[in-house]
Amino acid sequence: MSAGASCRLVYVPVDPETQRARIAHRRSTTPDQTFEMSEPDLAHWRALFEEPDATELEGHEVGGPPPGWSDWLEWSTAQWPSLA
């Protein structure tokens, strides 16, 4: 299924110190638009993050969804129920 949309992936790596500073700035200037993030939370999320590979950065087709999912829409709806 296609929604007829296009996208462009822009990846900008950020070191942990800069990320912490940006988080602190958001918390101090717009606390109602963010949430509390502990150091263990941040370390956990950074460990889970996968940098995009050349295929993703060049805009090529990435391929099918992970095993057990019929398509990317089914997978993404399971990850983020508000998409349904």
Tens-digit pLDDT profile for the chain (84 aa)? 567 777 788 899 999 999 999 999 999 999 999 989 999 999 999 999 999 988 888 887 778 899 999 998 899 999 998 887
Q: What is the pLDDT at residue 84? A: 73
Compute the distance between CA of residue 49 and CA of residue 41 in angstroms, rounded to an integer: 12
Strand, coil or helix: what is 69? coil
Number of helices and strands in the chain (H, E): 4, 0
Q: What is the pLDDT at residue 2? A: 64
Give which of 37, 68, 62, 33 is closest to 50, Cα–Cα: 62
Compute the distance between CA of residue 4 and CA of residue 84 in angstroms, rounded to an integer: 18
Q: What is the pLDDT at residue 56? A: 85
Q: What is the pLDDT at residue 8? A: 81
